[in-house]
């Protein structure tokens, strides 16, 4: 009989341990993992994420593979006008500065997203559609 594979995304080790991911909950999630990931998950400070849509389980630094960023401060928007020139005019636009925390890392970092006016308008419209109605 062969052991199951560790459920952690990209881990190819055999799973020998079942861990409870939310032991305080009445319906804790369980995962079959290898000894290395069991030890990591036993630390309550270890961050993890189950992505059921993609069928992936990320643990610790493996969260970097999710390529997700959490906004940690209000964004600021800058228009540089004639202070900057670009080789391709269609790559110029509003510079939206974000302070983000990347899943799998400890420190926050600055990211600048460049959006044309049209892209900014579309982004605002789509974000507005996602927002719940306020009463």
Work out the angle at residue 48's Cα, subtended by the Cα atoms of residues 26 and 2, and round it to the nearest 5 degrees. Answer: 85
**Which of the residue ranges 36-40, 65-69, 73-77 would you say has the lowest mean pLDDT?**
73-77
Greater confidence, 24 or 93?
A: 93
Let me know whether 13 and 60 are in one domain: yes
* DSSP secondary structure string for all residues of 59-110: EGGGGGGG--EEE-S--EEE--GGG---SSGGG--EEEEEEEEETT-SSEEE
Predicted confidence (pLDDT) per residue in 20-46, tens digit: 887 677 777 888 999 999 999 999 899
Per-residue pLDDT for 135 more than 60?
Answer: no
pTM: 0.71
Let me know whether 29 and 74 are in one domain: no
In sequence order, the 6+-apart residues with CB closer than 8 A to the CB of 110 are 97, 98, 99, 100
Let me know whether 39 and 90 are in one domain: no
**Which of the residue ranges 19-33, 41-55, 74-88 would you say has the lowest mean pLDDT?**
74-88
For residue 24, tell me if it sits in a domain. Answer: yes
Number of domains composing the chain: 2
């Amino acid at each position: 009989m062969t052991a199951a594979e560790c459920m952690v995304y990209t881990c190819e080790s055999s799973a020998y341990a079942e861990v409870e991911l939310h032991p305080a909950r009445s319906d804790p999630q369980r995962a079959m993992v290898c000894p290395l990931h069991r030890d990591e998950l036993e630390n309550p400070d270890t961050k993890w994420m189950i992505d059921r849509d993609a069928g992936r389980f990320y643990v610790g630094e493996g969260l970097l593979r999710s390529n997700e960023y959490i906004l940690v401060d209000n964004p600021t928007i800058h228009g540089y006008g004639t202070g900057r020139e670009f080789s391709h005019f269609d790559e110029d636009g509003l510079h939206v500065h974000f302070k983000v925390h990347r899943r799998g890392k400890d420190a926050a970092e600055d990211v600048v997203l460049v959006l044309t006016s049209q892209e900014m308008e579309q982004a605002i419209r789509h974000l507005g559609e996602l927002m719940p109605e306020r009463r």
